[in-house]
Chain A
Amino acid sequence: MSGKLSSDILRGHTDTIVLASLLDRDRYGFEIYNRVLQKTEKLYELKETTLYSSYKRLEKDGFIESYWGDETQGGRRKYYRITEQGRALYHQKLEDYEFTKKILERLFTEV
């Protein structure tokens, strides 16, 4: 990849990124963060504070739920689980994105 990752665009989609991380299984904060790191091939680190704000917001609105893990060694981990409402939001966001992408492509082309 020779382009640069636009941090603004990425930040604008934090909630969708968090929701996508929870589709296959429940994850805790560090795992979600790590997934972002891996998927972006370490080109860009989504600020963790941005992620935490996103968890709080999504949980308050009922899109995700949290629960404590059962680790005996060290501290406990707080896991997040996506709700049905959250899945619906995710699909909606995905559709919105596809649509935006199409429009942007149209706008970006020369002719």
Chain B
Amino acid sequence: MELKEFIDNAFEKYEESPELIDFKEELLTNLQDRLNSLEATGLKRAEALKKIEIEFADINKIADQMSLAKKKEVFEIQYMSLRHFVTKPRAAIYTILGVLAAFGLISAGLSYLASGKVEALTGVLMVFLAIPLAGFVYMGLTQETVTRNPMRPLRASIYAIAVFVFLFGALLVPLLVFGEAKSLEGALAILIPFALPSIGVIAFLIITESDYRKSWVLKEAEKHNEWAKNFEASGNAQTFGLMTAAVWILAIGAFVFLLFLKLWIFSWIPLVVALAVMMLLLAHYMKKSL
């Protein structure tokens, strides 16, 4: 008998609850490691499995403890939402970041009003907005919630640093144009060392991202989102994805093009149009897969 099967059998007669699903997942990985370590001592796989099964003969004792709550699934979900994930130190950091961001916005506004210079505005924002925003990115990603597991600190830090570099570069453009009287082309070139690597890093991280939803959420989602399966299976999701990508590439191209033509005032239009088209596409394909 394989481990997964063994665990499923052991808990067969118990009603699935978020807590039990959670526990089964924990058990599976631990037993997997145990199995590996037994095999490493020279035991055959079948023997190792047998040993584990004997050791866990009283596994249902734990399930019995949990089954007290199994009839009250609602209660459990409440219990999970009652656990406070925002600890005191985290709350303090959130507050500090918020205050810092507000300070940045206010002092940027003040220095702009006082000097009438755009470069003063963005110069302040480069530090006092980019740092707290990067901080928020880090805190948000490493925050465990009722439905989501936290990201590893190292990974989250890379995200945060990339966001900081991107914002720093983006805010540098107006600073150079207005402050140093650089040409727009020259200033936009600044984006290459800042924006491109950071976008690349973020894209890589997003593509290689694992699912952070907790297993009980995944189970719930499976139950409720039958239509999502249709959306995927009918190929509508892929078509939608491709078309959206095409629309955004066009829009961003148009946006940059308008900037080069110095048509500042119109540059936002392609982005808004792209957003609207994307929403229409989404509505269309969702309806199609119902």
Contact = CB atoms under 8 A, between A and B. Distances in A.
A associates with B:
yes
Given A28-B30, A74-B29, A48 B55 contact: yes
B264 interface: no
Contacts of B155: 70
Interface in B71-124: none
B149 A49 contact: no
B211 to A, nearest CB: 10
B62 A76 contact: no
A30 B30 contact: yes
Given A53-B65, A67-B144, A72-B210, A48 B56 contact: yes
A56 B65 contact: yes
Bin chain A's interface residue count.
Answer: 20 to 34
Contact of B25 (A45, A47, A78): A78
Contacts of B214: 68
Contacts of B55: 45, 47-48
A3 interface: no
Contacts of A71: 29
Interface in A25-61: 28-30, 33-34, 45, 47-49, 52-53, 56
Interface string A7-35: 00000000000000000000011100110
B28 A75 contact: yes
B149 A30 contact: no
B33 interface: yes
Bin chain B's interface residue count.
Answer: 20 to 34
B180 interface: no
A77 interface: yes
A72 B205 CA distance: 13
B22 to A, nearest CB: 8
B61 interface: yes
Interface string B141-167: 000100001111001000000000000
B34 interface: yes
A58 to B, nearest CB: 13
B59 interface: yes
A78 B37 contact: no
A75 B37 CA distance: 16
A77 B152 CA distance: 13
A49 B61 contact: yes
Contacts of A70: 149, 151-152, 155, 210
Nearest to B36: A30
B58 interface: yes
B151 A33 contact: no
Given A67-B149, A70-B210, A33 B30 contact: yes
B26 A78 contact: yes
A45 B54 CA distance: 13
Given A52-B62, A56-B62, A76 B29 contact: yes
B239 interface: no
User: 5 nearest interchain CB pairs?
Assistant: A29-B30, A78-B26, A30-B33, A75-B29, A70-B152
11 contacts: A34-B37, A45-B55, A48-B30, A48-B34, A67-B144, A67-B150, A68-B149, A74-B29, A75-B25, A75-B28, A75-B29
Interface of A: 28-30, 33-34, 45, 47-49, 52-53, 56, 67-68, 70-72, 74-78
